[in-house]
Structure 1
């Protein structure tokens, strides 16, 4: 068995405690073979003579070397056992991944990346995790440089290497928290396929998946492999679960709080609905406050409850009233199709010329999002002369001498916002790979990739048109917009806001529009490296690699004119054009200092790497790595690395025009909660982040207990000049504390003093420090004629501290930011005579909702309980003979474990929000 990134010659073995772990009697990194009666073999024993094992922890090649950088290897067997709809669904169960994006983490889903899949090591940002495909970069799927891993050819994935430490010297920028390398079986021969269908316990999110891969030799020198896959998932729509039909737990501001009265400043309450909007409109101030308008304009009383604030109030039970996440999907509907092909030709005994092509299309949605509502745009001012005011209300206004009323409305009857996205990726690579004589290997390639993302929000309110259409007077022939009197022919259509279903179709068409943005990203890469063993020390040959790379990335986004003018209530994508190019060179060296020297010097190796990178945007920077492997006796190994890593600013951080979002903040001037507009802004003066990463650990592989593998690794990552924006609450709080510069970022209403806008530029303002432990344990042994396997992965976060020079916050144990102190994944398996059972349990530890709520009266309940989700898969080989023909039945979330109430719909760690789900399928290989 050979594990390779193509044909890179004699590369070195994994720096991991589990590269040789056994899963159901098969090495995790091996192809799926069912030989459960066999005794466990070591990695070396399972390889044919001269075979190479290539792992992402290093770039140089040498047999029998364990790299010092910890690397978790997830083999095809484990991926099949987790039966993921997309590959990220399997990876997010590993504790090193935190806050990774999947189709079920979208929430309301207003953003342009909803429905895509991004891996996030350590939870310090997906843009600090470098994603590779066969050791090569992939064209980004977003302007922040992240790659949607769902587009990768999962049928051909042989394994996934997860380097859980800094790797910039070996692989380049963005590898601050590590590297995730998807290794393909591009020498596959035969036919492989899958056909699957699934549904939830509630009868929704019907999912259909199919794929086939084929590989064949072409004469004596050629080889061709091709694969294609398709996925359709119907999603989990709003209101489809008992616990998402009403607000189960919401953080609201307590209007009765004062610093000295002992009450909580914030309350976590059920049944928290908007306090100032209603489906057909509600008068929000003055003597007529609370008058609401229902179907057909029927007049009634708005149900005010408890803790009534500017945004929220709490009722006594479920009600038919709008609330913040009433349109949240627990899983987005999606369609995905992808294809991959590789043609290679041996131009020498060990040198191949190859070409690969990848094409993929993903279509999340359509799905609904926020309709026109005054919680975002501000309440309507309706003047007394408006002829749409119901007669009883007009009479009361006259008796009270009211010249206007303020109306809050959540206008679902006009049409909810509808989001549609299409993301297309094209990528081609040509390269030369293999031996070039004298023990040297060459890896040279040129790559071009293009990603096109179209993002559309339909039924999006046009704020100016909405204001015009609401301001109505009586004309000679009926109601008319006031603006039409001074500007005849302006197209304004008078809109009746008093009740559900009373607005005319013409008025609705006038106040709603469609925003559209198209983002095209291109990536060009030319790279070459050579590796070999130029000389030897007394302990063995020295391994050396050297290489150079040129990369160019460009982004161009076009947007409709109305969006660029900020005309819509939500979204408003802006035009964007920018890019950078980078030139870099690297060298890596492994020097053996002892080999088979007996106790206490069984083995000792040093590893070093250096890379110089020159960015067109920010200049040159040097990264480096030093590592050591020390084995005092066979089966016990100590490893340590120290590295300098970087992340260069991405195109969005450099060049973006203001990007509009909505966010809730508390104004310390009045202890009032606002839903305000915020705009993040690019900054061309940004410099690369720099990180110092330290890792040290021990690996235990005792000879007296074959099949046991264990490791414990400590990691410490310290990032300086981290690119970030301040939290909106921090901007407001510091302005209140006296920072004039931050007050300049805040816009307030001249009439009311309410915060209406906050600008938030990207800055090199933070330092980030995180440290913790990674624990891995695996064991496999014969049992009852079959084979039993156990694998445990655990992560303990000691700290995740961010500081901007003024405020320092340690987010360890902060569940709002997806940082449980403890997380783990336990897999138990048993295989016998073609039957296999796998139980997989993922644990997310308890913690605080928000660690910044650290005073006794900051919040009513700051605790979040732990959650464990258990999955079960049963499979049976029904073919016999050569190959594999396997039926499987998979149950996700076997015990239907719900997330903590505060995270029922969105936020927090990677909780399962869908509930128990079933999947059946047939896999074959022949």
Structure 2
């Protein structure tokens, strides 16, 4: 077994050193308490009730500000992940845990080569902007800037996932639901948590390796051990002055090794399939290590060559094949190299039952990188002027000089050429450095026996520095190409005094690091800094009005009440240096918005402990919000009901109106006007376009036509007169029409959510709890960013639907090219963040919990969490059909939600609690290409149906965790996730589906293979 970095080996060694003496300690008969606590906690959260007395404190119920009360069940379904569940997975970050929950759309930033390093959470199929993330009931940060990686995994008591609207309780952004991280309170003592995990995978030959070998790309088969990740946490806490002052803190270090694409046989190259069922091939790049050369004058103008890989200094034609074209993605990050430090502290001072001061602080710094090949870029990356080479360059052989210079070969004449070269040198890196702080503070307490209050706030600041790999210096490349022979030594014509290093561009395998350093000099590094800040002040008061006799005559518990006011400001600033703006464009920004809100919540038991009515209860909530960026106030509300005919059965229903105001980024994208040119080569679809079509008079033959792409009726729907249909006047310059983004008002979106469910706790089967809940979410005026193709493609696809065609805003003469100074109000295709028709999410959630004692044999606990998604999609306009993407991918179905997925964990614990074994079954349902859906609304027409690569079969993953608890002080965990080493499913054109070039969906599947983990905890 070989480990790639000494830090990873060191972490493993340290864990083993700590663990070794633990086996000699005396075992305890009470070590099963933590597992019992976990089971009771999950059951309590699942039902929304207070935990049993023997398990400790009351449970904070996510989704309400009213503290939990005995015999009161939550009306909204909650899924909980306990600390025991988390330890059984030995994750290095929280997104690994959450991605395994059926209710969450996975987002694996660690396996995504274009990631910015931030961990975000997406409930259902509705995006991270609609998922509110809380820590102990308060916001983590802004929607745009938050990073869940700031939360220390080892300090999480549990994670509550409430799906469905919760805006009336928590404010905007809780449209899809809430993820609430409950941290362990009041830690005392010293604890060390160490985890190390790595991948142990068998690479097998497959269709990707076949294609890679045809192009001479290396393939990796056989056993591979890589991807080491170390996680070390030190936690300490104490209580002073008779437990009135409680202080705790932690520091956490994480490290992840790079796993490049080339380390997996399934990603030996990016697999491309041309056409519906066309041939397979690898993505190829002209940036070959043999060097790509193309003259830009003379008889061979435009011919593409590479240097002969055999070292003979001859040119051979460029094209696919061994040692010719390059693999552009072989060293991209399948697992990003990452280093993170987290630290934080928590304190509370209880001056009296009426006054308790509290505060906390979290800080992190994360650096992640993505490899970028070291290259000499084509000249058109800098402009329209080609490179120049002198025809007596000593690196040119006679035949090469003739091919480039013709009759001028051997002279000092300069000729233009294009050069693309992947240098045989260490890769460059794109670097993201994310830093952040989150501070909370306030005062809380009790007022008499009926009232509690909490006045406090949150300040969060997340900063991201992006430093992309910078283009080499164009002028220095040109200097290095002008080489003369001085005393038999190739030397730059500008002279050695200039520090120039000559460029041998005319042989394969250039590995001159001095040349790399030279062309990289004289270039300002590119950098963009983005800062997101949240300032949140809130005051809440709760009261049990039953203490004053305000109680239903048929109930024992009285009316409970909560009210609050809140101020929240989001701010975003973004600054790029001159080098960054030169390459990426855009402009600096300073954006902000704030909101004032007030809310009220009621919990009213109507009947309790009566014949046929064990419990009947209604809950309600209302919130009023006013944003400075919107002239209107808006309201949200909830109405919930509970009915329990007997103790064993609870029926529940919840209705919510939730609203989400646009984030500061969305507001900017909506309002800021920017003129640009349309990407690609698509022209006005009403202009004449030369193309081949089938000849109606000669079957099997084609003819050339200049007919527009769109019909006359579609063009009429864009405001074009019939007289101009097919006119050359409509041709956009350079085949690129004008796009105007912005200039719109983005209004809050409104979601109506419904859940109906049943909870079963049969008294004749102690320890069993089952629940089934139906959810329905519909978002009106759904906010989203749409580029120009959304309107052009939609207009054509819908045969003239005004909803889409109105996005094509023609000038008075019918054209679509404009500038901000000429006709800023017409002559463009619109783009930007706007409100469109609505989004839909519907399905069922299933949960189960069963704990049974086996007498002298031990204890068995089982937990089940499954989700059936029946609808995931929406409707673009009143004239368009609904798009249901549940179980499908492609054609705009991007959330990649199988119709069914589940997790079933079974844990056996010995009577003395010294040992437990936890076995988990994760099931991911099938995914089918939208082309084969049979639903024309998502492109499932018969002519588009595929016969190859149209379905990903369901996959079952099995995880095993063995835990040894010794003497109440030490715990050793041995874990294997994806125990059977299932390989990732292969999907050509994967970037179009998952924005990953690894031929799979890395967020959805265990794409790197079996993961083995060793974890250790020591308490002092």
Tell me the TM-score normalized by structure 2: 0.74
1 CA distance for matches of 2:738 and 2:366? Answer: 29
Where in structure 2 are there 5+ consecutive unaligned residues? 1-32, 201-223, 693-733, 819-827, 932-937, 991-997
| Residues 638 and 914 of structure 1, relative CA distance in 2, 3 Å threshold | same
- Aligned pairs for 1:550-589 (under 5 A) are 550-564=567-581, 567-568=582-583, 574-589=587-602
Cα distance, 1:716 vs. partner? 1.1
Q: 2:293 and 2:830 mapped to 1: Cα distance?
A: 31
Aligned residue number for residue 844 of structure 1: 924
Q: Secondary structure at the match of 1:365?
A: strand
Alpha-carbon shift at residue 363 of structure 1 (Å): 1.5
Matched ranges for 1:693-712 at <5 A: 693-712=753-772
Deviations 1:389-445 (A, max 9, x none): 875356457779999998573645587441122211122222112212241000110
- Please report how far the alpha carbon of residue 624 of structure 1 lies from its aligned counterpart in structure 2 after TM superposition: 0.8
Structure 2 partner of 1:68: 75
* Higher deviation after alignment, 492-501 or 437-446: 492-501
Aligned equivalent of 2:140, options 120, 138, 141:
138
CA 1:670–1:822 in structure 2 vs 1: closer, same or farther (change >3 Å)?
A: farther
Secondary structure, counterpart of 2:573 in structure 1: strand
Is residue 161–residue 182 contact of structure 1 (8 Å, CA) maintained in 2? yes
Q: Over residues 15-57 of structure 1, what are the superposed CA-to-partner deviations in whole Å (9 max), with x where a residue is unaligned?
A: xxxxxxx99544446499xxxxxxxx99767325995321112
1:3 is aligned to none
**In the alignment, is the contact (CA less than 8 A) between 2:319 and 2:325 conserved in 1?**
no
Q: Relative to 1, partners in 2 of residues 1:207 and 1:396: Cα closer, same or farther, differing over 3 Å?
A: closer
Q: Which structure 2 residues correspond to residues 737-756 of structure 1 after superposition, within 5 A?
A: 739=805, 741-742=807-808
CA distance in structure 2 between the aligned counterparts of 1:322 and 1:380, rounded to whole angstroms: 24
Tell me what 2:711 maps to: none
Q: Distance in 2 between matches of 1:268 and 1:825?
A: 38
Q: CA RMSD in A?
A: 4.4
Deviation digits for residues 783-814 of structure 1 (CA, Å, limit 9, x no counterpart): 36111122221111111123332765322112
Cα distance in 1, alignment partners of residues 809 and 314 from structure 2: 43
SS at match of 2:863: strand
1:896 and 1:681 mapped to 2: Cα distance? 47
More strand by share: 1
Question: Aligned partners of 2:476 and 2:829: how far apart in 1?
Answer: 22
SS at match of 2:226: coil
Match of 1:245 among 268, 281, 285: 268
Please name the residue that 2:563 is paired with: 546
In 1, are the aligned partners of 2:777 and 2:840 still within 8 Å (CA)? yes
Deviation at 1:743, TM superposition (A): 8.7
Distance 2:922 2:841 in 1: 22
Distance 1:331 1:713 in 2: 36
Cα deviation for residue 386 of structure 1 reads 6.5
Q: Is the 8 A contact 2:739 2:788 kept in 1?
A: no
CA distance in 1, matches of 2:942, 2:55: 66
Q: Which whole-Å CA distance do the structure 2 matches of 1:505 and 1:597 have between them?
A: 83
Counterpart of 1:392 in structure 2 is 399
Deviation (angstroms), 1:510? 6.3
Where do 1:52-91 residues align within 5 Å?
Answer: 52-63=58-69, 64-91=71-98
Q: Give the conservation status (yes or no) of the 8 Å contact 2:472–2:519.
A: no
The CA deviation at 1:664 is 8.8
Distance verdict in 2 for CA 1:505–1:602, change over 3 Å: closer
Q: Look up the SS of the partner of 1:634 in the other structure.
A: coil
Shift of 1:525: 1.3
Shift in CA distance, 624/491, structure 1 to aligned 2, threshold 3 Å: farther
Structure whose residues are more often helix by fraction: 2
Deviates more, 1:870-879 or 1:380-389: 380-389
Aligned equivalent of 2:259:
236
1:154 deviation in Å? 2.5
Structure 1 residues 872 and 471: alpha-carbon distance in aligned structure 2, compared to 1, 3 A threshold: same
Runs (5+) with no aligned partner, structure 1: 1-21, 33-40, 255-263, 306-314, 485-489, 749-756
Report the CA distance shift for 1:235/1:28 in structure 2 as closer, same or farther (over 3 A).
Answer: farther
Q: CA deviation at 1:516?
A: 0.4
- Call closer, same or farther: CA 1:624–1:406 in 2, change over 3 Å: farther
Structure 2 counterpart of 1:862: 950
Structure 2 Cα separation of the partners of residues 663 and 391 of structure 1: 42
Q: Is 1:352 aligned to residue 356 of structure 2?
A: yes
Cα distance in structure 1, aligned partners of 2:329 and 2:829: 22
Over 3 Å counting, the alpha-carbon distance change for 1:636 and 1:560 in structure 2 is same
> Who is 1:723 aligned against?
783
What's the CA shift string for 1:899-925, capped at 9, x where partnerless?
A: 211254564642112211221121134
Structure 1 runs, 4 residues or longer, greater than 6 Å off: 275-278, 284-288, 378-381, 383-386, 397-406, 470-482, 490-496, 657-672, 676-680, 735-738, 743-748
Corresponding position: 1:781 with 2:852: yes
Query: Superposition pairs for residues 587-736 of structure 1, below 5 Å?
Result: 587-599=600-612, 601-619=613-631, 620-655=633-668, 685-726=745-786, 730-731=790-791, 733-734=793-794
Work out whether residues 25 and 788 of structure 1, in 8 Å CA contact, stay in contact via their aligned partners in 2.
no
Name the SS of the counterpart of 2:88 in structure 1: helix
Listed one character per residue, the Cα deviations across residues 661-685 of structure 1 (whole Å, up to 9, x for unaligned) are 999999997899x9x9999966673
Distance 1:788 1:670 in 2: 71
Q: Given the two structures, how large is their TM-score scaled by the length of structure 1? A: 0.81
Query: How far 1:517 sits from its partner (Å)?
Result: 1.1
Aligned to 1:188: 187
Would the alpha carbon gap of residues 468 and 360 (structure 1) be closer, same or farther in structure 2, given more than 3 Å must change?
Answer: closer
The total of aligned residue pairs comes to 841
- Between 571-580 and 506-515, the greater mean CA deviation after superposition: 506-515
Whether contact under 8 Å (1:452, 1:520) holds in the other structure is yes
From 862, 867, 890, give the equivalent of 1:790. Answer: 862
- Structure 2 counterpart of 1:14: none
Mapped partners of 1:31, 1:845: distance in 2: 25
Q: CA–CA distance in 2 between the matches of 1:68 and 1:790?
A: 24
Number of the residue aligned with 2:335: 331
Inter-CA distance 459–537: structure 2 relative to 1 (3 Å threshold): same
2:904 pairs, out of 819, 826, 834, with: 826
